[in-house]
Amino acid sequence: MNSILLTLVQFVATLAIAPFVVGLVRLFKARLQGRHGASPFLPYITYATLLKKQMVISKSTSWVFRLVPFVVLASTLFLVCVLPLVVFGGALSHLGHFMIIAGVLALGTAFLVMGGLESASAFGGMGASREMTLASLVEPAMIATFATFAVVTGAFTVDTMFASANILTSPALLPAIAALIMIALAENARYPVDNPATHLELTMVHEAMVLEYSGPYLAMLEYASGLKLTIFSLLVANVLFPMTLAVDATLIAIIMALGWMIIKVVIVSFLLALLESMIAKMRFYRMQEYLTIAFFFALAGLVFALIHITL
C-alpha cells in the first residue's frame, strides 16, 4: 500500500508539472534573450485548446498514423511510473531495468518515426531519417551509461541504482553523469542536437515528424514531449541529489519531495535555457561527434568502475 501511494503521488505530480516545465524553459530563454516571454502556464492552455480542435488527417495515412500518439504517450507514462522521479520504491519500480528503459525509449522513437513516414510528406521523411540516425547513436551511449551505474551499484533497476549511487565514493559515476546529460539533450531534441522552436526544413528533426498532426493527436505528442523533458530533468537532478526523494508515504516526506521537485525543475529549466542561449545548434553531420563523445564518457566511467572493482 505504501509503494502504491508513492507511485500515485509521483504519477500525478509529474503529469501536473510537465507543461509548466516546458513553459518555464521558454520563459527563462526569453528573459535571457532580452524578451518578456509568455507565462510559464501557457502550455496548459495550449494543450487544452488543441484537445478541442478538429483533426485534419491525410488520406495517404493508415491506422499506424492514428496509433502513434497513443504509443508515444503510453511509453512516456510508463517511464513516469517506473523511474525514481519524486520517490524511491514505487510499486512498479521493479520494472525499471535499464534495458527495459532503453527499449521503451526506443519504442516511442520508432513509432514517432513511423508517424513521420505515414504522411508521405517530404518533411516527415526527412525528419524520420534524421531521427533514426540519432537514435542509432543515442542507444549505445544510453546503455553504456546505465551499465556504468549497474557496475558501480550492483543493481540493474534504475530505482535501485539511484538509491545506491554515491558520487563521493564512486568518482567513476562522474563521466557517466556527463554522458547522461548529453543523452538527455539529444533525447529531448534540445540544443545542440535540435532546435525545438524551429520550422525551418534544414534544421528541424522532431518538429518535422509531428508536422502533419493536429488537434488531440498533436496535444498528445506535445504533452509526451513535455513529459520526457520533465523525466530527464528530474533524472539528472536526482542522480546528483538522491536524498531529495521520498522513501516513505508520510505526509511530511511527500510534501518535502514535492517541494524539492519544484526546486529541481526550476533550476534545471534555468540551466537548460542558459545553455540554449549560449550555444548554437550543431550541423547535423556533426551529430556523430557529439554522441560519440557521450558514448566514450559512459565507456570511460564503465572502465573506471571495472578497474575499481578488480583492485
SS3 letters across 171-221: CCHHHHHHHHHHHHHHHCCCCCCCCCCCCCCCCCCHHHHCCCCCHHHHHHH
Ramachandran region of residue 154, left (φ > 0), alpha (ψ -120 to 50) or beta?
Answer: left
Please state, in angstroms and rounded to a whole number, the distance separating the CA atoms of residues 284 and 262.
34
Q: Between the CA of residue 255 and those of 6, 139, 240, 245, 258, what are the distances in Å?
A: 12, 35, 20, 10, 5
Query: What is the pTM assigned to this prediction?
Result: 0.95
What are the tens digits of pLDDT across the range 85-111?
999 988 999 999 999 999 999 999 999
pLDDT at 102: 94
pLDDT at 1: 66
Please state, in angstroms and rounded to a whole number, the distance separating the CA atoms of residues 301 and 311.
15
pLDDT at 69: 96
Q: Between the CA of residue 252 and those of 83, 96, 257, what are the distances in Å?
A: 21, 26, 9
pLDDT at 308: 82
pLDDT at 302: 93
Buried b / exposed e over 167-192, threshold 16 CB at 10 Å, is beebebbebbbbbbbbbbbbbbbbbb
CA atoms within 13 A on the CB side of 57: 16
pLDDT at 189: 86
Q: What does the DSSP 8-state code read for residue 283?
A: P
Q: Which residues of the chain have pLDDT under 50?
A: none
For 175, the domain range is: 2-310
Total of domains in the chain: 1
> What's CA 282's distance to the chain center, in Å?
20
pLDDT at 124: 80
pLDDT at 101: 96
What residues contact residue 246 under an 8 Å CB cut-off, 6+ apart?
6, 9, 86, 87, 88, 253, 254, 256, 257
Please state, in angstroms and rounded to a whole number, the distance separating the CA atoms of residues 145 and 299.
7
CB of 39 closer than 8 Å to CB of 27: yes
Of residues 139, 166, 143, the one with CA closest to residue 156: 143
pLDDT at 205: 77
